[in-house]
Structure 1
């Protein structure tokens, strides 16, 4: 069977089980199928028309074609390829938001672009997911699109063997999100780890700013106040980093 592809990327090049691959004849998805279900902005309409060269369904992982059990939240996991138009190099966040919001399924986006490399054009790929940010119960969830690093298309893979025997589609989804967001297949306590990473990045920015402020301050009282804030921020940062590496 010839499988669906996005550029040179397919379910098989990503390392997914052959049983999850979509036949090439069924892979192409018209852009119009995603537009009729939602009111879209002029900016998004332009992005779909000009920035996306093609959309392909590459794979579907569900209990029927894997060793997974049914998940309580994620019934199946789709892999959708987004081929970017020539000279477009950034992840099409708005398009990913549009498509992912229309299904309860987990969706992995394989975004493919062409980039100049050593006098020719190299095909590169990054994987992206849309995920609800950790929040308080009863509040409207806020979603964010996360994307991994751009790599040569042939080097981009997903690990599916890391989930334990008897794992569900929920477990695989957490593992996939962890691979894309944190660079590890360990999906345990993922929301807490994502929150901690965001806090670390915010504290790192705060420390950098306070260091510069301390260097510029000329008044002794002001320098002492900034130093105290800097000391506190560094302690908080060290504690979070220790938790992340424990």
Structure 2
């Protein structure tokens, strides 16, 4: 996309479609600019025009805030059926930083209702952020973009399972940290033993998950 040609007025996202006052404030206060940087499709990537996904938009979102306004990205993503890879940009003490973000269905077990959410990846120095295009189909390129945003790797294989495992590891690490503090604070021997038993179980689960990676 030629520089300056892809800028999207923020107002188009909250005047044409009714939004809450809180979401409007997100666009007005937390986002300084939205711009389409490029489009990935079968013609410009010389890939077969197969599957439901026909193109992927690369959209830059320059922030006034330090945190990504996920509800605003959710709103933008829902307005378009094609995939959108967001590149969020914020200014910090060490210069500009970037993080990739995508809207994706959460991994769920069979029979459960599917829900979508915005995944925001790690922050990188702007000059260090790279984007790899991997795959022989647009769907594979999209999965690779999702993997880069969520797991910081371009490997698109078995992504839902890897996301679920990553989320489980994060939850277990948080629980381990909490139980470790609780155990250190506990004075009653019975309570300390109960907490230690829980901590031992969590650490066994972590070891099992790490061994499966």
TM-score (norm 2): 0.90
1:123-177 CA distance string (max 9 Å, x none): 33222111110124565432222222323323222011x32xxx21111111111
Q: What residue in structure 2 maps to residue 111 of structure 1?
A: 88
The answer to whether the 8 Å contact 1:37/1:102 transfers is no
Equivalent residue number for residue 71 of structure 2? 94
Tell me, what secondary structure is at the counterpart of 1:232?
helix
Which of residues 206, 212, 222 in structure 1 aligns to 2:175?
206
Structure 2: unaligned runs, 5 residues or longer: none
Correspondence 1:1-246 to 2 at 5 A = 22-24=1-3, 26-36=5-15, 38-85=17-64, 88-117=65-94, 122-137=95-110, 139-160=112-133, 162-163=134-135, 167-244=136-213
Deviations along 1:82-107, one digit per CA (max 9) or x if unpaired, are 1223xx22212121111011112110
SS at match of 1:74: coil
Render the CA deviation track for 1:56-108: whole Å, top value 9, x for unaligned: 111110111113233534221100111223xx222121211110111121101
Please give the alpha-carbon distance, in whole angstroms, between the structure 2 residues aligned to 1:32 and 1:197.
36
State the partner residue of 1:8.
Answer: none
The number of residue pairs the alignment matches comes to 213
RMSD: 2.0
CA distance in 1, matches of 2:2, 2:100: 21
Could you say what secondary structure the match of 1:24 adopts? coil
Gapped runs of 5+ residues in structure 1?
1-21
Once residues 192 and 63 of structure 2 are traced to their aligned partners in structure 1, the CA distance between those partners, rounded to angstroms, is 50
Structure ranking higher on relative contact order (CA contacts 8 Å, 6+ apart) = 1
1:131 and 1:69 mapped to 2: Cα distance?
Answer: 23
Paired residue secondary structure (1:78): strand
Secondary structure of the residue aligned to 2:49 is: coil
Normalised by the length of structure 1, the TM-score is 0.78
Using the TM superposition, name which of 151-160 and 90-99 deviates more: 151-160
Q: Is the 8 A contact 2:85 2:101 kept in 1?
A: yes
C-alpha separation in 1, matches of 2:107 and 2:14: 28
